Chain A
Amino acid sequence: MSKSVSLLLAILFPVLAGTALLVVRKKDDRKKILAYVGVVLGITGVLVINALTTKETEIVLFELMEHVPIVLKLDGFGKLFLAIVSIVWILAGCFSFTYMKHEKNEKRYFGFYLVTFGVLVGLGCAGNLITMYAFYEFMTLVSFPLVIHNQSKEAVMAGLKYLFYSFFGAYMALFGLFFLCRYTTTLTFTAGGTLNMELVAGHETLLLVAACLMLVGFGVKAGMFPLHAWLPTAHPVAPAPASAALSGIIVKAGVLAIVRVVFYLFGADFIRGTWVQYLFLTFALITVFMGSMLAYREKVLKKRLAYSTVSQLSYILFGIALLNPVGLTGSMLHMIAHAFIKCALFLCAGAIIFQTGITNVDDLKGIGKKMPLTIWCFTIVSLGLIGIPPTGGFISKWYLATGALDSGIAGFQYAGPIVLLISALLTAGYLLPVTIKGFFPGDDFDYDKLEKCEPGKWMTVPLVILAALSVVIGMFPNGLLSYIQAIAAGLM
């Protein structure tokens, strides 16, 4: 299969299949819809694998305007993103087969779920800034129905908040895009940056402002302070598998965009040592700390997990902001680890809601006795998020901390690892109580009333796979590590 066809297919197939599901008005029974969705997810998975095996090439689809082509290009970093997306998306999709039973409008949910899949694949394949921006906006629009799925007043308000924060961020980024159009040699992502230094001379401040706006703008999706407020509102109101996908993947789109802008357009050298880097580091660290604190205080499990996402995403951003290969390696590792872990955590929360209806952490006493497998998975991935060896989280945090110490940036060199450590403690503080209460309910727990309510295999299997993945990448990181280190080294 030619390369352009294989990339296009992987993008268009889920989009079209999802649209078909949305448009067709016939009343199908549930089984048919699920079978259809399952098949589409499977085929998309195969198509993505097929795309991953192609060599890196640049495909110009067409010229939107003169010098503004729409380009697809799958490089090492894009492949990494695509791999995470498809694993998480397919697993969370399987989970929704059971979970969505107790929600209405399943067809709409699955329709948009598939369309979003395609758009995310497109985002990973985007070869220049315009293409990426287009997919970025599409992603906001098509993931919106997932957020407001149950159409309660709360969900709609949260959805609007999501939408407008996202657009606000996207338009801030667009401001930078306009300037990049003029001051770069090409908008195609090129390792090391494409700034046209002759034109830039004399306009450095302007471009730094543009860079800053782009970072903050794309940072909205990644839940970075100061525009993070939408995330803890919007993620928990969605149905659990959608929250898992949003918190595991969609937020990573912001990370992807920031990496693309920093390392592939501006170039690390242009930003290193400027006020933009310090601002970026400061925002990231503030967010890490603030997110953990808020998560620690929060009692509703899904909200707590959403705050945790805010905090963890800024670990990744911190690693990027260090602008050195070690930090970037840590970021990419954490991106992978967090995707699996956060998805698993949200799915656990979903399984608990589905089986027992409990949403509050305080009510979870003895839950481990009722659904041992689910809570075991929860525990394993929690340990991963805290960063206890041999889980994936440990490796990534190790690299992040080493990167910070290596960076030699006065202040941040030590402040970074300290904040990461404090946040790790807080992470333990907000995640482990679920396990502790779940397995050790205390003397007053009434064991006679206990009934097993382990969820069905469509729910448990994805959980187990995700938990296993999070451990595997920590225990056998070498292959992945050398792949990532090669990418990171190529960017500096």
Chain B
Amino acid sequence: MNEVMLLIIVLFPFAAGVLIPLLPFKNRRWMMIYIELVVVINSILVWLLLFNRPDGAFTLLKFTGNLSVTFHLDGLACIFAGLVSALWPLATLYSFEYMKHEEHEKIFFMFYTMTFGVTLGIATSANILSMYFFYELLTLVTTPLVLHTLTREAVLASRTYLYYSLGGAAFAFIGMIFIIVYGSTTDFVYGGVLDLANYTGSVNLLLFIYVLAFMGFGVKAAICPFCSWLPKAGVAPTPVTALLHAVAVVKSGAFAIMRLTYYCFGTEFLKGTWAQYTVMSITIFTIVFGCSMAVRERHLKRRLAYSTISNLSYILFGLTIMTPLGLVGALTHMICHAVMKICSFFCAGAVMYKTGRSYVYELDGFGRKMPKTFGIFTISAFALMGVPGLCGFISKFNLAKAAVESENVLAYVGIAALLISAILTAIYMLTIVIRAFFPKQGFDYNSIRDVEDPNWVMILPLSLFVVGMVVLGLHPQPLIELFTNVANGLF
């Protein structure tokens, strides 16, 4: 396919999103059809592109010298673009139902659709400057989504989100400058672009800059000192929390770190240095920290948000192993976690939407009244815990395999952290499940008479995610082969 298509998949949802408030829709139904069409068409385009990959790159803007905004679809980009475009239509479908009772729908959907384009922009960026550009843009278009309800809480949350993200981007900017100066090119090249021969004297400086940039991009991926924005941002409507704060935004952070580590600095330069140990320690700490906080948290969505913090660091842990296998583990968990977490968030959203309850202790006996929702929630809980047969086990297995093969003692500690996190996951997820299905003796079901399952618009995406979890859990081999090729720079 033509390289121009790369621009179209980014611009089309962006432009179509901007149009939403301007177009005179007859009623809500037409608007829904319009939005769903835009998203589905764009997703189809992306998937067509994935199977007919253009070899070249498309340059949109050229600044001076080698600075440009360029799109290119390499293996890593394929994975991320494929992931978001598979999830976006389903999430949009779900949000039609969810947003029924909310105000400012048009504005919401405008930014929601624009974010699709921006995320694809991050995925398909061919060099660090373009990625940085879309990265900043992502912050800007998603802030209104956090702000959506306009409550005091939402305003504070969006302010935190904005400050953290912009602050992080500033650190990332420093990293970018050093890559531009010290690299042989600004493009992403598998294996790194550093021109070491000329800069042997500044190794430690470069390592320091790597750690800085890691932390900078890590803000979006919610690593430990900078993760408090994520649970706060849970005030946003559930489709935003589920899709953006469990997949698109946070995984952009992880994706950017993959680019930084494997495609800019290069693992050969970083492996075995203090920089690797530093960032790996941070991720290990975050894995345990996120889970422990999730156990303490009583608000359903915030609990899931803390769980996201921990799981994102699984991904980062995988990539800080800095071997191809580590990247395979990281990518596997990126895909698997996306499916599991969006599924559990949507279940939480269905509960909030149908009953208005949002605290864990209010969910007694819901299992019998919302059997579909809680059945699916249970499966996602099992998947997150890593029960074999579901996708969580596969990704955990791959991460641990990479850690074992690296023969790096800190990575062994990482495996222990993964397993501690698994037991904590069991605690914070299963307590909800048990409450819902096995309420205390003598529980009065009349007190939750009004509780019922949502309609098909919500159940359909949920069921598809369950199918995804099972398929990924039982037959992940084709995907893992793809990841292995990507991680070895072959695809």
Of all chain A residues, the one with the shortest Cβ separation from B425 is: A167
Selected interface stretch from B30-38, B44-52, B286-294, B434-442: B434-442
**A137 CB–B CB distance under 8 Å:** yes
- Given the complex of chains A and B, what is the CA–CA distance between A68 and B474 in angstroms? 11
State whether the Cβ of A160 lies closer than 8 Å to any Cβ in chain B: yes
Minimum CB–CB distance for B471 against chain A, Å: 12
Which chain A residues numbered 60 to 111 have a C-beta less than 8 Å away from chain B? Answer: 62-66, 68
Q: A164-B426, A164-B427 are in contact. Are A148 and B419 (CB under 8 A)?
A: no
When distances are taken between beta carbons in the complex, the residues of chain A under 8 Å from B412 are 206
Proximity string of chain A (153-189) to chain B, C-beta cutoff 8 Å, 1 when within and 0 when not: 1011001100110011001101100110110000000
In the complex, residue of chain A having the shortest beta-carbon distance to the beta carbon of B382: A141
Asked if B388 and A133 sit within 8 Å, CB to CB, the answer is yes
The residues of A that contact B440 with a CB separation of less than 8 Å are: 151-153, 156
Q: Which chain A residue shows the least CB distance to B435?
A: A156
Measured CA separation A64–B423 after assembly (Å): 23
Contacts of A163 in B (CB 8 A): 426, 430
Apart from A62-B475, A65-B480, A141-B387, 18 more pairs, CB < 8 Å? A65-B476, A65-B477, A66-B477, A134-B389, A148-B438, A153-B440, A159-B434, A163-B426, A167-B422, A174-B386, A174-B400, A174-B422, A175-B416, A178-B401, A178-B403, A178-B404, A182-B404, A206-B412
Contact of B434 (CB < 8 Å), options: A133, A160, A167, A179 = A160
Contacts of A385 in B (CB 8 A): none
Interface residue? A130 (CB, 8 A) = yes
The reply on A429 being an interface residue by CB < 8 A is no
Q: Is the interface of A mostly helix, strand, loop or mixed?
A: helix
A174 to B388, CA, bound (A): 11
Residues of A with C-beta under 8 A to B315: none
Q: Given the known inter-chain contacts A133-B388, A134-B389, A181-B401, please indicate yes or no for A174 contacting B438, CB distance below 8 A.
A: no
Residues of chain B contacted by A66 (CB below 8 angstroms): 477, 480-481
Q: Which residues of B contact A441 (CB under 8 A)?
A: none
- Please tell me which one of the listed residues A134, A141, A156 contacts residue B438 in the complex, with CB atoms under 8 A apart: A156
Residues of A within 8 Å of B415, CB to CB, are 175, 178
CB-CB contacts of B409-434 with A at 8 A, as 1s and 0s? 00010011001101100110011001
Interface membership of B385, Cβ < 8 A: yes
Q: How large is the interface on B (under 10, 10 to 19, 20 to 34, 35 or more residues)?
A: 35 or more
Q: Is the CB of B438 within 8 A of A63?
A: no
Across the interface, which residues of A come within 8 angstroms of B430, CB to CB? 163
Quote the shortest CB–CB distance from A203 to chain B (angstroms).
Answer: 8
Q: Is B405 in the interface zone, CB < 8 Å from A?
A: yes
Kindly list chain A residues whose C-beta atoms are within 8 Å of the C-beta of B477: 63-66
A150 contacts the other chain (CB 8 A): yes
Digit string of B207-248 for contact with A (CB within 8 Å is 1, else 0)? 000000000000000000000000000000000000000000
Q: Which listed residue, A68, A148, A181, touches B404 by the CB 8 Å rule?
A: A181
Find out whether the CB atom of A65 lies under 8 angstroms from the CB atom of B422: no
Closest chain-A Cβ to B133's Cβ sits at a distance in Å of: 38
A151 touching B441, Cβ below 8 Å: yes
Assuming the A-B contacts A164-B427, A181-B401, are A65 and B438 also in contact, with contact meaning beta carbons closer than 8 angstroms in the complex?
Answer: no
Alpha-carbon distance between A151 and B387 when the two chains are bound, in angstroms: 25
What are the 6 A-B residue pairs with the smallest beta carbon separation, nearest first? Answer: A134-B388, A178-B400, A171-B419, A151-B441, A152-B441, A167-B426
CB distance from B75 to the nearest CB of A (A): 19
Q: Mark A457-489, 1 if CB is under 8 A from B, else 0.
A: 000000000000000000000000000000000
Are B385's CB and A167's CB within 8 A? Answer: yes
Alpha-carbon distance between A153 and B400 when the two chains are bound, in angstroms: 38
Known contacts A134-B389, A137-B387, A182-B404, A164 near B423 by CB under 8 Å:
yes
A153–B423 CB distance below 8 A: no
Residues of A within 8 Å of B285, CB to CB, are none
The CB with the most chain A CB atoms within 10 A, among B404, B405, B475, is that of B404
A63 — which chain B residues lie within 8 A by C-beta? 477
The reply to whether A151 and B419 contact each other, CB–CB distance below 8 Å, is: no
15 contacts between A and B (CB under 8 A): A65-B480, A151-B443, A152-B440, A153-B441, A156-B434, A164-B427, A172-B419, A174-B400, A174-B419, A174-B422, A178-B400, A178-B401, A178-B415, A182-B401, A182-B404
**Inter-chain contacts of A168 with B (CB < 8 A):** 423
Taken together as a complex, chains A and B put the C-alpha atoms of A171 and B423 apart, in Å, by 7
Q: How far is the CB of B91 from chain A (nearest CB, A)?
A: 29
Residues of A within 8 A of B359 (CB): none
Complex: A167 Cα to B422 Cα, angstroms: 9
Are B438 and A151 in contact, with the CB atoms below 8 A?
Answer: yes
A171:B422 contact, CB within 8 angstroms: yes
Contact call A182/B405, Cβ cutoff below 8 A: yes
Is there a chain A Cβ closer than 8 Å to B394's Cβ?
A: yes
CA distance A175 to B477 in the complex (A): 22
CA distance A66 to B387 in the complex (A): 19
Chain A, 117-168, CB within 8 A of any chain B CB: 130, 133-134, 137-138, 141, 145, 148, 150-153, 155-156, 159-160, 163-164, 167-168
Q: Chain B's interface: helix, strand, loop or mixed, by majority? A: helix
B182 at the interface (CB under 8 A from A): no
Which residues from B are CB-within-8-Å of A179?
404
* CB neighbours of B474 from chain A (8 A): 62, 64
Does B178 count as interface, using CB distance less than 8 angstroms?
no
In the complex, which residues of chain B have a beta carbon less than 8 angstroms from the beta carbon of A164? 423, 426-427
Closest-CB distance, B384 to chain A (whole angstroms): 13
Chain A residues in 8 Å Cβ range of B431: 160
Which of A137, A178, A181 is the most central at the interface, judged by chain B CB atoms within 10 Å of its CB?
A: A178
Contact with A along B75-103 (1 / 0, CB 8 A): 00000000000000000000000000000
Distance in Å: Cβ of B438 to nearest Cβ of chain A? 5
Task: Give a binary string over B434-460; 1 marks a CB under 8 Å from any A CB, 0 the rest.
Answer: 100011110100000000000000000
Assess whether B419 is in contact with A175, with CB atoms less than 8 Å apart.
yes
Find out whether the CB atom of A65 lies under 8 angstroms from the CB atom of B394. Answer: yes
User: Which of chain B's residues has its CB closest to A168's CB?
Assistant: B423
Query: Which chain B residues lie closer than 8 Å to A151 at the CB level?
Result: 438-441, 443
Per the bound structure, the CA–CA distance linking A182 and B403 in Å amounts to 11
Q: Judge if B269 is at the interface, Cβ distance under 8 Å.
A: no
Q: Which of B427, B439, B441 contacts A150 (CB 8 A)?
A: B441
CB of B397 closer than 8 Å to a CB of A? yes
Closest chain A residue, CB of each to CB of B421: A171
Smallest distance from the beta carbon of A314 to chain B beta carbons, Å? 24
- The answer to whether A145 and B387 touch across the interface, beta carbons within 8 angstroms, is no
Q: Can you name the residue of chain B whose Cβ is closest to the Cβ of A178? A: B400
Residues of A within 8 A of B400 (CB): 174, 178
Contacts of A65 in B (CB 8 A): 394, 397-398, 476-477, 480
Query: Closest CB of chain A to B307's CB: distance in Å?
Result: 16
Provide the bound-state CA to CA distance between A152 and B385, in Å.
Answer: 26
Encode contact with A along B371-409: 1 for CB under 8 Å, 0 otherwise. 000000000001001111100001001101101110000
Taken together as a complex, chains A and B put the C-alpha atoms of A220 and B440 apart, in Å, by 27
- Least Cβ–Cβ distance between A145 and chain B, in angstroms: 7
Query: CB-defined interface of B476-490 with A at 8 Å, one 1/0 digit per residue?
Result: 110011000000000
The answer to whether B404 touches A137, judged by C-beta atoms less than 8 angstroms apart, is: no
Minimum Cβ distance to chain B for residue A103 (Å):
11
Give the residues in chain A near B476, CB-CB below 8 Å.
64-65
- Chain B residues within 8 Å of A152, by CB: 440-441
List CB contacts (< 8 Å) of B464-480 with chain A. Answer: 474-477, 480
Instruction: Determine the distance from Cα of A204 to Cα of B419 in the docked complex, in whole angstroms.
Output: 22
Chain A residues positioned under 8 Å from B438 (CB to CB): 145, 148, 151, 156, 159
Measured in the bound complex, the distance between the Cα atoms of B397 and A167 in whole Å is 16
Q: What residue in chain A is nearest B400 (Cβ atoms)?
A: A178
A175–B400 alpha-carbon span in the complex (Å): 8
Q: Give Cα distance in the complex from A25 to B443, angstroms.
A: 20
Report whether A130 and B388 are in contact in the complex, using a CB–CB cutoff of 8 Å: yes
| Closest B residue by C-beta to A154 | B441
**Bound: A483/B400 CA distance, A:** 39
Which residues in B have their C-beta under 8 angstroms from that of A174? Answer: 386, 400, 419, 422
Q: Which residues of A contact B434 (CB under 8 A)?
A: 148, 156, 159-160
Q: Which A residues lie within 8 Å of B401 (CB)?
A: 178, 181-182
**Central interface residue in B385, B389, B403, B419, by most chain A CB within 10 Å:** B419
Which residues of B lie under 8 Å from residue A130 when comparing CB positions? 388
